[in-house]
Amino acid sequence: MTQELPIRCYVVSSFLLKKDNGDYRVLLLKRKQTILGAWAGVGGGIEEGEKAWQAVLREIKEETGLTPERLYSADTCEQFYEIDRDSILIAPVFVAYVSDDTAVTINEEHSEFGWFTFEEAMLKVSFPEQRWILKHIQEEFVQRQPVEWLLIDIY
């Protein structure tokens, strides 16, 4: 008899993009208390009654004070094995474009933030999955025009 591993999806993940001198930069936040004080995009839990895209908009506002101009499904999920829960965590990933002159106000969960080139961001994040997602976002949302059907009508 085989044992099934639970698959859980209760969080969302997002990466915010803005233009700086014609090039896109990605926002990373440094969490105060997490694995290795890790740099990451914006993310958090889905509250009861929320759709995943609504949760990501709320988390973006709570963690950065920002409201995206456009929000897309990144058409991928962040996934990893949770050792303590012996389960697989899957988080849908979103891409949010914000105004070029936007000002970030981080909340108490974070100690630092920065707008990084994709190359810099890939050096900051801790996990291979995060680097793969950043490469995917760079290829599909910066180097190419995003696929229109991935756009989420937030207004």
Within a domain: 22: yes
Residue 1 lies in a domain: no
Report if residue 128 sits inside a domain.
yes
pLDDT in tens, 3-37: 889 999 999 999 999 999 889 999 999 988 765 55
Q: What CATH number is given to the structural domain containing 19? A: 3.90.79.10
pLDDT in tens, 81-129: 989 999 999 999 999 999 998 899 989 888 899 999 999 999 999 889 9
Let me know if residue 2 belongs to a domain: no
Asked if residue 45 belongs to a domain, the reply is yes
The closest alpha carbon to 109, from 67, 50, 62, 65, belongs to 62
Report the C-alpha gap between 3 and 67 in whole angstroms.
43
Residue with tokens 């440094």: 30
In tens, the pLDDT along 32-90 reads 876 555 899 999 999 999 999 999 999 999 999 999 999 999 999 999 898 999 999 99
Output the DSSP codes for 52-81: HHHHHHHHHHHHH----SEEEEEEEEEEEE
The domain in which residue 55 lies consists of: 7-152
Determine, yes or no, domain membership for 144.
Answer: yes
